[in-house]
A = this chain, B = another copy of it.
Amino acid sequence: MSNTRVPPSIEPAAADAVAPCCPPLAERPLTAEEAEVAARMFKALGDPVRLRLFSAVASHEGGEACVCDISDVGVSQPTVSHHLKKLKEAGLLTSERRGTWVHYRVEPSVLAAMGKLLTAAPR
């Protein structure tokens, strides 16, 4: 498999990737493309450190948190930055620099989209 899906990382693709994602997993077999889009999001949450970072941001006041508030997850700060970058690339987080500190925010539509994916079919 060697498909270069490394986007130009100019962020606008991020918001795009989440909204029109896929039907619930139990509704229809996903197509290859749908699966690739959805798998990217699941993969981003498939690491304990990233999951903790994401949860920390999501549960923080206003769904927004400074790096300094969430960087206590047991790994070095460069690693934290690396994971945050990956979450951002996956379209799950957005970042904004407010003076000295950088604030990360959860993209609300992401939770909705992923939640819908895991909706049980009314069978």
Q: Point out residues on A near B: beta carbons under 8 Å.
A: 25-30, 32, 35-36, 38-39, 42-52, 54-56, 58-59, 62-63, 70, 73-74, 106, 108, 111-112, 114-115, 118-121, 123
- Residue among A52, A74, A123 facing the most chain B CB atoms (10 A cut-off): A52
Evaluate whether A111 and B106 lie within 8 angstroms (CB atoms) in the complex, with A55-B28, A59-B26 already known. Answer: no
Copies of the protein in its oligomer = 2
A51 — which chain B residues lie within 8 A by C-beta? 25, 30, 35, 38-39, 42
Known: A43-B43, A114-B118, A118-B118. 7 other contacts (CB 8 A): A26-B106, A29-B52, A29-B59, A42-B42, A42-B43, A44-B46, A115-B115
Chain B residues with CB below 8 A from A112, complex form: 120
Residues of B within 8 A of A111 (CB): 25-26, 118-120
Contact A115 B119 (CB under 8 A): yes
A108-B121 in contact given A38-B51, A47-B39 (Cβ < 8 Å): no
